[in-house]
Amino acid sequence: MGDKLKRSNIAKLIYFSRSTDIFTNLALEDWLYTNRNFTNQPMLMLWRNKPCVVIGRHQNPWLESNFAMLPQMGAELARRNSGGGTVYHDMGNLNLTFFTSRDSYSRRRNLELLSRALSTHFNLAPEITKREDLCINGLKISGTASKLGRTNAYHHCTLLVNANTAHISLALKNLLGPHVKTNASVSVRSPIMNLNEERPGITVEEVMSAVISEWSSEVAVVDSIDDDHFPGVSQTRQKFLSEEWRFGRTPKFTLYRSVFQQLNIRAFLAVEKGKVANVGMEGDSVQFSVEKNNLEGLEGLMEGFIGKPFSKELLDEFEMVVAGLKNSSQCLTMITNT
């Protein structure tokens, strides 16, 4: 399918977004995908963002990111429209979106272009893995995701040039622990490296120029991403920015914490559409929940969680309740007598 782009009558185009706002760039990407016809003009969009964590469409932001630390790091949390795993962006990271028709879609062709650019201009030797990531010496320099529609498709990826790797590790730390039941897509973590570890001094601008040279196209600089130039893009940006999109679209999950390990009794917190749907206690042979009112006294203690948005503050409150239950001889007596 990728060979169709080699035809001489295909005129390619590059858009370079000057915006460094993740929600604006996601909105532009979505607008182009929705409104342009790429059959006779495939497009490459180049973009960079200020610090942010970007999760896949079907992921859980609380499992994939260090959500308590992101505000202190000055990093946004965004959910994109494509699948795949979670990535961290900053100004040391180059993002690329390859738009084509559905029939011309080819991840490998795009990765081969990037590999060729890095080899030709910087004497680097990246390899394309079976997962269609780019690696150097077994370390990942680029992750990949895509979206395929009825007529259009895009493949977007990252290139780590001189990103803050300490912030990457901190921002993608899981705070919820392993005791979570969910159907959300889970990221596969891989060892990473920046290109400047192989070529000290290399810049994002230099990598961008190399990619542009390989794509062989003039560059259209996008200074204004607004409704005058892209009708409806501001509404799309508001969607990506909204709490409902970023958190409310999270697949339901249940968080568990052990209360009385010797009796295999644990507390649970069930979250649906970003809000607490149920909370209680359960064990192998009996279940204690707010809905069933098995334990008098626990109902009032726990039912206050229901309906609240899940957050770091709510998680801390839940952990405090669990700690209180562990130290409650009255609760243990109630359970053993049930």
26 in Cβ contact with 242 (< 8 Å): no
Decide if pLDDT at 2 tops 50.
no
Question: What is the per-residue pLDDT across 230-250, written as a single tens digit (0 to 9) for each?
Answer: 999 999 999 999 999 999 999
Reported confidence tier of residue 119, pLDDT bands at 50, 70, 90: very high
Contact 180, 253 (CB under 8 A): yes
Find the mean pLDDT for residues 197-203.
97
Beta bridge partners of 78: 54
pLDDT of 328 reads 62
Question: What pLDDT is attached to residue 234?
Answer: 98
pLDDT of residue 337: 52
Q: Tell me: pLDDT of 4 over 50.
A: no
Question: What pTM, to 2 d.p., does this model score?
Answer: 0.89
Q: Taking a C-beta distance cutoff of 8 angstroms, is the pair 93, 22 a contact?
A: no
List pLDDT tens digits, range 282-318: 876 444 443 443 444 555 667 789 999 999 999 999 9
User: Over the range 28-51, which residues count as b (16 or more CB within 10 Å of their CB) and which as e?
Assistant: bbbbbbeeeebeeebbbbbbbbeb
pLDDT at 136 over 50: yes
26-70: pLDDT as tens digits? 999 999 999 999 999 999 999 999 999 999 999 999 999 999 999
In this prediction, residue 293 carries a pLDDT of 38
